[in-house]
Structure 1
Amino acid sequence: MRGAGRLPLPIAAGSGRWVSVAAERTVLGVVHNITSATRLLDLLTVFEGDRRVQTVFTCTESSALDEGTIEFFTSRGMLHIPWEEATVRKFDLAIATSRGGDLHNLRTPLIGAPHGAGYSKLLKREAGSGKREAGSGKREAGSGKREAGSGKREAGSGKREAFGLSPEWLTHEGRVVPSAIILSHDEQRERLAVSCPEAVPVSVVAGDPCFDQLQVSAPFRENYRQALGIRPDQKLIVVSSTWGRGSILASDETDTDLLRRVLAELPADEYRVLAAVHCNAWYGHGAWQLQNWLAPLTEHGLLLPVPDTETWKAALLAADGILGDHGSLTMYGIALGIPVILGSFAESKVAPQSPMARLGKILPRFSAHRPFLPQIEEAAAVQRDSAELHQLRATVTSQPGESAVLLRRLFYQWLELPEPVTPARSRLVPVPSTVPVGYFSPVQRPVYVSVASEEGWATIRRYPAPLQRRTMERHLSGAHLVADIDDPDAGWPRSADVLILPLGRPRYVVGMVSWEDIAALYPGCALLALEEPEGGCLALPRDGVRLRARWDGRRPSWASAAIAASVIHDHAMSTVGSHGPSCVQVAIGASAETGLLVVDAL
């Protein structure tokens, strides 16, 4: 075990006799927090397979939101050293995906890159968070750094300049700190020329590796949907929240309560909802705390992936709509052509001349006075052929599909190594190995069910009952309540119109259950339904007629005893028995998949 203060083997003194691979160059990966660490890993894929390059990581220890960073390194087997050690050693190259910390103290050529979709945020340095003080260290000659102007311009002068493109974040004592500044689009160089012209000569437009990865993975959309548990007849809505005040997560403290509303108003069988929460929010409050706060939603189907994986990329590729804010995921969604509504947008945190500012002016805002579903449907119809959005999509990268080639060329030039002979390429987004669900209940959660009936047809829509707030209930018009008899919140079975007696609970086995006794305990119940195998049920309406419902032919993936019971409850079954079985073609919303339900009298 490596002791305290002992260096990782590849850079330790006298390690030649111990290492298995004698790398020719050592790269220092510099991160500010987990957010920048995940983006750094996108960049470092250009070194895959090259045993000439060893990478060691460090954290600037300058972020108020760096919780979990060391655990991130350790869990992925990333060798790391303290920041103090990183500043006194020489490496062949350092790569940073944030401008935070005393980067000017490094004794290594530094390449700086963004950790989002371009440079769009406004952010000021805070005292004690890596603020550069005069006399805190000069770079050595020959480090590849260019002399900047006279240094008369002061950081934090009040100009609203983008984080990563201003002198505040790029210079120290009149000198540009990075050896190279990676930009994803030519428009960023134009803004850089205004905000920090002395940095323009070291800027390199190298495209966006994250967007290129998304683009090359787009043909495999169905693989990502399947891995996330999205059925072919379902749509996925991604709710994307950045961090801080003004984000969607912060808006849930208000009456808007966006995450709950989306889950409450979308038909649960037709839509899935995934919350993509920014790493800074997740680790700033703690993973347990975020999961605890959102537990009432994950209990009703909210998908909540851990943000330091690439599941959010898979979700974007699988998405049919986005409720976003001023975070990068919203811009990537627009670039992929996904319909987007803004649930929140903090103009005060967005650089005025950035594409994100334009996005905030173009996209529709969520209206708290209208149901969510028609809003996202309208966005899909309008945005499909929008010339403005077409132009905005083009601002994500001016080198589409070329980032792997351009980044590898840049890095190897600085390493003074010939590039590998294999072509540089974007790596596919990995297919998630697990569905990111937070809670499985042993009881069927209560739902409000609406049934639209026509001759021989029934169309079902179900909504999670505990999430309704009676403030926007047009979707509940004429709905009945279905509850599990053993629901721990006794108020639901006592209020239920349809009471489900689940299969596999001993006291509800046929021959042992007393229908009359149960009905007496729940006098408001109109129908008792005892679950049977293959999604069927035995049903006892109030009139005392016993009915058996079964699915005939190919059983749909959504078929269940609860849906069968809802059809019996709302569909005319008075002719069952006198005219033989009653057959009803059942559909879930607008799904093309239907099932034939056959109801017989016993």
Structure 2
Amino acid sequence: MPDAGPSHILLREDAADWETVKPERFVLGVIHNVTSATRLLDLLKPFEGDSRVQVLFACTGSSAFTEGLREFITERKLPCISWEEAKREKFDLAVSSSRGGDLHQLNAPLVGAPHGAGYNKYLSRKPEAGSRKPEAGSRKPEAFGLGAEWLVHDGELIPSAIVLSHDEQRERLRRGCPEAVPFSVVAGDPCMDQLLAGVPFRDEYRAALGVRPGQKLLVLTSTWKDQSLLGAHRADLEIIRRSLAELPADEYRVLHAVHPNAWFTHGGHQIREWFEPFLRAGLLLPSPETDIWKAALVAADAFIGDHGSLTLYAAALGVPGLLGAFDEDTVAEGSPMDLLGRELPRVTRHEPLGRQLQRAAAAQAGPQRERLAEIGALVTSRPLQAAGLLRSLYYERMKLDEPQHPAISRPVALPLPLPAERRQPGAAAVYADMQGGRLRRYPAELQGSLTHHLPDPYLVAAYGEPDPRWAHAADVILARSLHSGESWEDAARRVFRRHPGCELVAFPQEATGCLAFTRDRLQRLTAQWQDGAPSWPYDFSVAASALYSTLTSRSASSVRVSVVDGLPPAVLTISR
């Protein structure tokens, strides 16, 4: 881990010779891994704008998840010292969002906070010399962070303040470590406050994530280990595949928020390689050390989660959802996560996913609404107050007057555009019911046998599709520009030769529709959107798909086409 040498310049005896701003107080931010580091930066937000306070960081070295941490620290330019130096120096305050490492050796009043949505999971410390683990049978295990195993060393309480996000946690702390109760402070949840502050900007988040008008955003949330959403379905990553395969591609965007421990254990490159078919189908996959998952939860229309904190945050925001996995053995009995796990329905394998999401949304807006709201309210009993309460706690411990400006919980910034270079032109299985004017498109590559949501699909592929399954079997080929000196008819023949199963070749015609040719007698056809048709979602590929539907169904020469629920249909005029 980064090591500034024998001493950071600001801690040296001659620091006054070098410093530009003279701090009055020094705070140590304790980093355990990337997961705790992202939470730690939220906890340190109350110091922003105060030049009297200098924050330095140190890594405990006690976590197995060290991958990605060096890059995280370097990218954010966090001033770091070694853990050994952190234990030698005296600080006015230390803040930690984890319980790992020799925290008892720090020479500073320590504020300990959760690194997720409260305290919801069991975790036992491995026995070691000087362990804080209580003797067998001394106390019933409590959630990680609320038991003596993590709070007491050699009979002495380690933190000088234990941050709770909700009043209910105090009773669980009383059961797990009664001597710590007088040192507990209910200060809310800064992450939940960021989410709540972002709610008025939901439309902006959706636009930044590439969610088009009329589309729904489904967020998949996965914690780590083999009972997570990602781990439990690792054989074929079933939940991710089904989300993209069964939900119409024009109606849904799907974003997968992967836990940092899973991401950095296997490596971002490996995760992306595993997800490559899903990325081609349009999956959004943000790096987990960013705040994009927060924007996504605010922007979401639905979620599929597991026993991780993001599931609880999503439910607290009122987003309807399903559980794709849930590890009952890990979740602390009686915790908010335990209550949520009893309330949310599980994804079933043999029913279309869209129908399950619709049923969950209806139930969670109706009969379950009040109960889910009660559980969501257990995330914080001090909504939108965490910044102020934490700042008061910190400054009281540092014996420093608070700044005059208010401490405000602010929404996360708009996400930068996510990488789009992996979304390559590919094959789409199209189901069209042109009697009702409805056209739905799905990625062909991800179709499986678990559900049968495509009663009679046909295949549309781009010219040059490398997969022979689609290149040879596609009913419609979306061609591109003409070769030099080539006529439209010559171009159509060339495409038919390359794609032997193709019945229709379509070429884009500016923004108005397409020019197409049939294999039979090379019949020339045009399909044009009437004036007023929006560019989204009525583009060239939709025009070609609808045109093919009219040929196979012998529909009229003018058809109304609907692609996305909630958006008006467009009229396509077809000339033979």
Q: TM-score, normalised by structure 2?
A: 0.95
Change (3 A) 1:506 1:7: farther
- Kept after mapping to 2: 8 A contact 1:156/1:168: no
- Kept after mapping to 1: 8 A contact 2:133/2:149: no
| Higher alpha-carbon deviation: 11-20 or 270-279 | 11-20
Partner of 2:471: 493
Matched, 1:341 2:319: no
Partner of 2:173: 192
In 1: Cα distance, 2:129 partner to 2:485 partner: 71
In 2: Cα distance, 1:337 partner to 1:382 partner: 12
- Kept after mapping to 2: 8 A contact 1:251/1:257: no
| 3-state SS of 1:348 partner | coil
1:417 aligned to which of 400, 403, 408 = 400
Partner of 1:145: none
1:63 deviates by: 0.4
Change (3 A) 1:535 1:15: farther
- Kept after mapping to 1: 8 A contact 2:165/2:381: yes
Partner of 1:141: none
Matched, 1:250 2:239: no
In 1: Cα distance, 2:338 partner to 2:33 partner: 25
| 3-state SS of 1:22 partner | coil
User: Could you tell me which amino acid in structure 1 is paired with residue 85 of structure 2?
Assistant: E
Matched, 1:176 2:145: no
Change (3 A) 1:435 1:14: same
Gaps of 5+ in 2: none
Matched, 1:564 2:543: yes
Matches within 5 A, 1:259-274: 259-274=240-255
Partner of 1:595: 570
Matches within 5 A, 1:381-530: 381-385=362-366, 386=368, 387-437=370-420, 439-441=422-424, 444-454=425-435, 458-473=437-452, 475-503=453-481, 506=483, 510-511=487-488, 513-530=490-507
| 3-state SS of 2:562 partner | strand
1:133 aligned to which of 130, 135, 152 = 130
Partner of 1:56: 56
- Kept after mapping to 1: 8 A contact 2:462/2:479: yes
Partner of 1:299: 280
| Higher alpha-carbon deviation: 175-184 or 15-24 | 15-24
Change (3 A) 1:574 1:396: closer
Change (3 A) 1:521 1:24: closer
In 2: Cα distance, 1:592 partner to 1:99 partner: 51
Change (3 A) 1:261 1:156: farther
In 2: Cα distance, 1:48 partner to 1:490 partner: 57
1:551 deviates by: 1.9
1:437 deviates by: 4.1
Partner of 1:46: 46
Gaps of 5+ in 1: 135-150
- Kept after mapping to 2: 8 A contact 1:276/1:307: yes
| 3-state SS of 2:434 partner | strand
Q: TM-score, normalised by structure 1?
A: 0.91
1:69 deviates by: 1.4
| Higher alpha-carbon deviation: 95-104 or 253-262 | 253-262
In 1: Cα distance, 2:421 partner to 2:346 partner: 29
User: Could you tell me which amino acid in structure 2 is paired with residue 327 of structure 1?
Assistant: G
User: Could you tell me which amino acid in structure 2 is paired with residue 414 of structure 1?
Assistant: R
How many percent identity over aligned positions?
49
Partner of 1:16: 16
In 2: Cα distance, 1:349 partner to 1:527 partner: 55
Change (3 A) 1:111 1:155: farther
Partner of 2:511: 534
1:340 deviates by: 1.1
Partner of 2:208: 227
- Kept after mapping to 1: 8 A contact 2:434/2:561: no
CA shift digits 1:548-597 (9 cap, x unpaired): 11222134212222211111111159999xxxx93222110424233222
- Kept after mapping to 1: 8 A contact 2:514/2:543: yes
| 3-state SS of 2:451 partner | coil
